[in-house]
Structure 1
Amino acid sequence: MKTDSQESMLNVNMARRSFLRYASVGVASVGLLATAASCHKDHKINPATNTIDLGAKGDVAILNYAYALEQLEAAFYLQVAATPYSGITSSETALLTDIRDHEVLHREFFKAALGASAIPALTPDFSSINFSDRASVLGAAAAFEDTGVTAYDGAGYLIDNAAYLLIAGKIVSVEARHAALIRNLITPGSFAGADVVDPTTSINKSATIADVLKIANTYLKTKVSAVNYGYKAS
């Protein structure tokens, strides 16, 4: 999926502009996350099932949940940038490139913050996506972005540390901007459709870890489970 040259280019960009500053969080926040990471959890992929579990209930498991989703989104947009779909416009290229950079930076933030407690790199499976077709790519992008927003909204109450919750709120607000943009690229004016924003409350819908992982695992060769939250990847 992503190539060495793509990652090298992105690493150069991140060297020029600190990904921590880009994500609008400070060094102090990273220190707080590192405290959680100090409780080392040796996450290993089960070779028999090619599955990794998020671990025991707590903030580290939830942060790894977010990290898993950011890995998936980053891998997807790296592929989109590497193999642009037929008829892509310069405006769409610029917008999707910006989203790619955001997702890579989100991924790298969680990886650095979790340290030794981070789950391993996951292997995506995008075989169901036709990267040469606009509708296929944008449809998948919408699924990733809408799922990402509902995932953060659904797991927020499980976060104990207020500092982590603040960081999650900053990231999900960016993900919501992505979701609105992608939806409008598909159908202008659909940025807050009733399928994502409850028309009676004007509040974005949320999803459980179980529901989100069912969707995410269809795009992952390395499956993610959360047995301590009542769900196991099939």
Structure 2
Amino acid sequence: MSAEISILDLFLEASILVQFVMFILLTFSVVCWAMIFQRRKILQTAENQLTVFEDKFWSGADLGKLYSETSAKPVIQGVESLFVAGFKEFARLRSSHIDNPQVIVDGTNRAMRVALSREIDSLETHLPFMATVGSISPYIGLFGTVWGIMNSFIALGAVKQATLAMVAPGIAEALIATAMGLFAAIPAVIAFNRFSHKVEKLENSYGNFMDEFSSILQRQSATEQSTK
């Protein structure tokens, strides 16, 4: 039986609309898998970078020296971009001879929040597409299945004597569309949930770093103000 009916044969013998549905689902699957591998690498890099930078930050290194080393990098991403944005704004406000430490810290926080928003937007790239594929692919596949089965029964009504052998290929080719819809949707949903969780953890870690860094800058600013 498998020699007589193969998946490729069923695809080639399907109606144009069902073939189009299968092609869309296959395209969704290929694109989604490419995005999955890309996002996995980017998020893993962000997690590793966070660990390495926090080790440097809490090792007692001079913040000015750390800023010079970090800002000299050709590409600044992740928690490093928050640190650079915050320290740069802190240095700018301090050089403006502002006497209120709270004003300096508030300005630093605003700069870091802007950088945080950019980083989260970058980390969430392609996640909406995965969510869309995961939600609509089963319905697209179901549409192809319903259309294929409908055509099979219409053709069946045109013959006087119907047999299972006559209707089986049409139903089988229609059901492949549903299978392809699930094949595209399941990895997309799993990846979306996993990556969303990773992004949420990174966002929380970035937020904690911002709070701790702000506290350090506030103490430093207050100390400088008291010595004047």
Relative to the length of structure 2, the TM-score reads 0.26
Radius of gyration: which is bigger? 2
Higher normalized strand content (fraction of residues)? 1
Higher normalized helix content (fraction of residues)? 2
